[in-house]
C-alpha cells in the first residue's frame, strides 16, 4: 500500500515519516495540508486501513456548493503523515514547505448515501472508493459538514471535490484567506523561514501530560471556587457563566450519555443534544452546561426547569420544539484511548476544537482574555457572571480548584434547608420561610438566616419535599430561638440571593431562587465571606 510512497523518497534526506502502515485508534482521521511545492496546492488525506488516502486539490476546497474542485488522487501516505509539518528539502519529491492547514475526524455521511450497506465505517469508505463516489462528514476546525469526492471515470485519477448543502456551506466565505496552520499557527512562509511553532502538535496520545486509559463509566466534574470580584491575570481566560445544568457528555461510539454532577443519567430528557453528539467510533468525555435560551438568546434556568421533569417521549419531543436547549462545551477530559486530565487547559482547548463539531444543539463556550471587561459585558447582557480559568491548569475531577474561579453578578450561593416556619394566612397549608444553614470548615452546620420569596407552585412542591424529611431536633449547632419551627434533615440544596453576609454569618435579605437538584448536600460550597 505504501510502496509508491517509499519509492519516491529518501528518508535519510527528508523528515517525512517512514513507510509504515499504522493502527487505527478511535475515530477515522483526516488532514488537509497546504503544500508549496512546484505549485501551491492542498493535499486532502482520509484515513483508511492504516494509511491516508490522498488527493492533491490545486485550488483548495470551497464551501460553495456550486464549486467543483479538481482533486487528483496521489499515492497513499502513512498514517503518521497527518502530523507532518515542515520543509521537504530541495531535490526530494514534493520539495517545498508544508503546513497542517486543517485536521480532525471524519466518517461516512449515512444520510447522503442512498444505500449505505454496512454500518462499519471503513467497509463503507472502502466500498465507496471502489465505486468512485465517497460522501463523508468532516469534523475539523475549518472544514465541517458533508462533502463528496466523485471520480471522473473508472481509469482516471482525477476526481471532483464538492461541498454538500448543509449549515456549514457558504457562498461568501473564502477559505484561501485562512492561511495559518491549525496546530502551529504558522503560515507556509513562516515554515519556510524556519520560524518556531506557536502551538504544539495536537495529537492526543503525544501531548504532554496525556496517558493511555479507558473511557470512565462515571465521572465527577471539576468544581469552581467562588471569588468576590473579577480580575485580570496573565495566562488566564474568562468564560461566560451559563445559568443551566452542569453535564458530563460520555460518548462511546454510537452510545451517548449526559450525566449530571450527581451521576444521574439525563440523556432521555435531551434527545436533540444526544443526536448531535453521536459521531461514529469516537470515544470522548466532555464537560459542559445544558442551557435553555429565551427569545433574546440569553440562558434561562426557568425555561430549563419547565422541561427538566418530563419523562414521556411525546412531551420531551414537544419540549424540544418549544424550549430547545444547547449543550455548551468547555472542556475535554478523554479522547480516543487517551486520558487528558494531566494535559494543560491551553492544549485541551485546542483538542476540544478538533474533536467537537459545532451544531444547532452543541456549541463551544467562548472565552475572552480580559476578565474585568468580560464580566461587565456578561452581567450587562443578563448572564450570571464569568468563570476565570488558568490556561496552565490540569483537570482535577471532583475537586474544587482555585484554578477555576467563578465571579457572580449578584450575590448568590447554595445553602442547606434545615427547617421551615409555620405558614399563616394564605400560607397556612404550606409554610412561611426556610431556615438555612452552611457547613463551616470544621464540618459544623451553622445557621445562616431565613429565606423567603416563593410562588404558589414552589411553596407546595417544597412543602412536600420537606415533609418527607422531617426530624424532631435541629441539625444546626447554633439554632435560632424561633417558635413554630419544623426541622428537616439537611438534604435539600437551595440557591439563594442576598444583599450581603454580616460579620456574624447572617444573610441580609435572602431570597430563594431555586432548588438545586443537580448538587448534592456535600457539594455545597461555603460562601467566601463565611470562610475563615
Q: Which positions are catalytic?
A: 241
Other C-beta atoms within 10 Å of 226: how many?
A: 20
In 3-state terms, what secondary structure has residue 458? helix
In 3-state terms, what secondary structure has residue 462? helix
Cβ proximity of 94 and 37 under 8 Å: yes
Q: What are the two backbone dihedrals, phi and then psi, of residue 5, each rounded to the nearest 5 degrees? A: -60, -50
Q: Which three cell numbers stand for residue 84?
A: 507532518
DSSP string, 62-100: -S-TT--EEEEE---EEGGGGG--EEEPTTSTT-EEEEE
- Distance (Å, whole) CA 303 – CA 286: 24
Cβ proximity of 487 and 475 under 8 Å: yes
- Distance (Å, whole) CA 199 – CA 217: 32
Other C-beta atoms within 10 Å of 153: how many?
A: 7
Rg over alpha carbons for the chain, rounded to the nearest Å, is 28
Nearest by Cα to 510 from 438, 432, 411, 428:
411
Burial (Cβ within 10 Å: 0-12, 13-18, ≥19) of residue 160: middle
Nearest by Cα to 273 from 238, 307, 226:
307
* DSSP strand pairing (325-335 vs 362-364): parallel
Burial (Cβ within 10 Å: 0-12, 13-18, ≥19) of residue 111: exposed
The Cα-based distances of 219 to 171, 243, 266, 348, 398 in angstroms read 43, 21, 14, 18, 8
β-pair partners for 344: none
**Which of left, alpha, beta for 482 (phi over 0: left; psi -120 to 50: alpha)?**
beta
Amino acid at each position: 500500500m505504501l510502496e509508491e510512497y517509499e519509492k519516491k523518497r529518501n528518508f535519510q534526506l527528508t523528515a517525512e515519516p517512514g513507510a509504515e502502515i499504522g493502527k487505527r485508534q478511535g475515530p477515522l482521521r483526516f488532514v488537509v495540508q497546504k503544500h508549496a511545492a512546484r505549485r501551491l496546492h492542498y493535499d486532502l488525506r482520509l484515513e483508511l486501513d492504516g494509511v491516508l488516502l490522498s488527493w492533491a486539490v490545486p485550488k483548495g476546497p470551497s464551501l460553495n456548493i456550486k464549486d467543483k474542485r479538481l482533486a487528483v488522487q496521489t499515492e497513499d501516505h502513512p498514517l503518521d503523515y497527518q502530523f507532518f509539518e515542515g520543509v521537504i528539502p530541495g531535490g526530494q519529491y514534493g520539495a517545498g514547505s508544508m503546513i497542517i492547514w486543517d485536521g480532525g475526524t471524519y466518517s461516512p455521511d449515512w444520510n447522503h448515501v442512498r444505500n449505505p450497506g454496512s454500518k462499519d465505517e471503513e467497509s463503507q469508505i472502502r466500498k465507496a472508493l471502489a465505486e468512485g463516489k465517497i460522501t463523508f462528514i468532516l469534523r475539523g476546525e475549518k472544514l465541517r459538514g458533508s462533502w463528496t469526492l466523485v471520480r471522473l471515470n473508472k481509469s482516471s485519477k482525477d476526481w471532483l471535490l464538492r461541498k454538500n448543502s448543509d449549515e456549514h456551506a457558504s457562498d461568501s466565505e473564502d477559505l484561501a484567506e485562512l492561511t495559518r496552520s491549525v496546530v502551529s499557527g504558522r503560515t507556509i512562509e513562516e515554515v519556510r523561514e524556519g520560524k518556531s511553532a506557536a502551538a504544539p502538535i495536537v495529537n492526543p496520545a503525544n501531548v504532554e501530560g496525556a496517558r493511555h486509559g479507558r473511557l470512565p463509566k462515571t465521572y465527577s466534574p471539576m468544581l469552581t471556587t467562588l471569588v468576590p470580584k473579577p480580575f485580570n491575570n496573565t495566562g488566564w481566560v474568562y468564560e461566560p457563566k451559563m445559568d443551566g445544568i452542569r453535564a458530563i457528555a460520555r460518548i462511546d461510539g454510537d452510545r451517548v450519555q449526559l450525566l449530571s454532577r450527581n451521576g444521574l443519567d439525563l440523556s432521555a430528557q435531551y434527545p436533540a443534544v444526544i443526536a448531535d453528539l453521536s459521531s461514529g467510533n469516537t470515544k470522548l468525555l466532555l464537560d459542559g452546561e445544558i442551557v435553555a435560551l429565551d427569545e433574546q438568546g440569553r440562558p434561562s434556568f426557568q425555561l430549563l426547569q419547565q422541561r427538566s421533569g418530563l419523562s414521556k417521549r411525546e412531551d420531551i419531543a414537544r419540549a424540544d420544539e418549544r424550549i430547545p436547549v444547547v449543550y455548551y462545551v468547555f472542556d475535554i477530559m478523554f479522547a480516543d484511548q487517551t486520558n487528558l486530565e494531566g494535559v494543560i487547559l491551553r492544549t485541551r482547548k485546542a483538542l476540544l476544537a478538533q474533536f467537537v463539531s459545532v451544531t444547532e444543539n452543541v456549541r463551544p463556550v467562548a472565552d475572552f482574555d480580559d476578565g474585568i471587561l468580560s464580566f461587565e459585558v456578561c452581567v450587562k447582557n443578563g448572564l450570571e457572571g464569568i468563570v476565570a480559568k488558568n490556561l496552565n491548569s490540569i483537570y482535577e475531577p471532583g475537586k474544587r480548584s482555585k484554578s477555576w474561579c467563578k465571579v457572580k453578578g449578584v450575590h448568590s450561593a447554595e445553602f442547606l434547608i434545615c427547617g421551615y416556619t409555620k405558614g399563616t394566612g394564605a400560607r397556612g397549608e404550606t409554610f412561611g420561610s426556610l431556615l438555612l444553614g452552611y457547613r463551616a470548615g470544621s464540618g459544623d452546620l451553622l445557621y445562616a438566616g431565613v429565606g423567603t420569596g416563593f410562588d404558589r407552585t414552589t411553596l407546595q412542591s417544597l412543602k412536600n419535599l420537606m415533609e418527607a424529611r422531617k426530624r424532631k431536633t435541629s441539625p444546626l449547632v447554633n439554632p435560632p430561638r424561633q417558635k413554630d419551627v419544623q426541622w428537616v434533615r439537611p438534604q435539600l440544596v437551595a440557591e439563594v440571593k442576598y444583599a450581603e453576609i454580616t460579620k456574624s454569618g447572617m444573610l441580609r435579605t435572602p431570597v430563594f431562587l431555586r432548588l438545586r437538584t443537580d448538587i448534592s448536600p456535600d457539594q455545597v460550597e461555603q460562601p467566601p465571606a463565611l470562610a475563615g
